[in-house]
Amino acid sequence: AAAIERFPVAQGSPVIGKTLAEVALPTSIRLVTVLRGPFLVPPDDALVLRTDDILVMIGLQADLAQVASEFTQTRSAKPA
């Protein structure tokens, strides 16, 4: 099943300082937008990710769960 998920970029996440082009996402997942504070930032390949950015993605649930572990420091259960 497809789902929409919000992925906060946690302190210490391996994606901090990387551009969106450098972050490998499965082909089944599409990045919809990036929330940076009160702003919606278009997902441009050159956008460099920062702590507390929130990535809004749509895709298959199993693939989203796999991606979640890359953005968070620890593999914790998904918040409800």
Q: Write phi, then psi, for 58 (nearest 5 degrees).
A: -125, 140
pLDDT confidence band for 80 (50 / 70 / 90): very low
> Which pLDDT score is estimated for 32?
95
CB 70 within 8 A of CB 14: yes
Across the chain, how many H-helices and E-strands are there?
1, 4
| Length of the chain in terms of residues written | 80
Q: What is the pLDDT of residues 18-48, one digit of tens each?
A: 999 998 888 999 999 999 999 999 999 999 9
Indicate the residue type of 6: R
Q: What is the pLDDT of residues 57-74, one digit of tens each?
A: 999 999 998 888 777 654
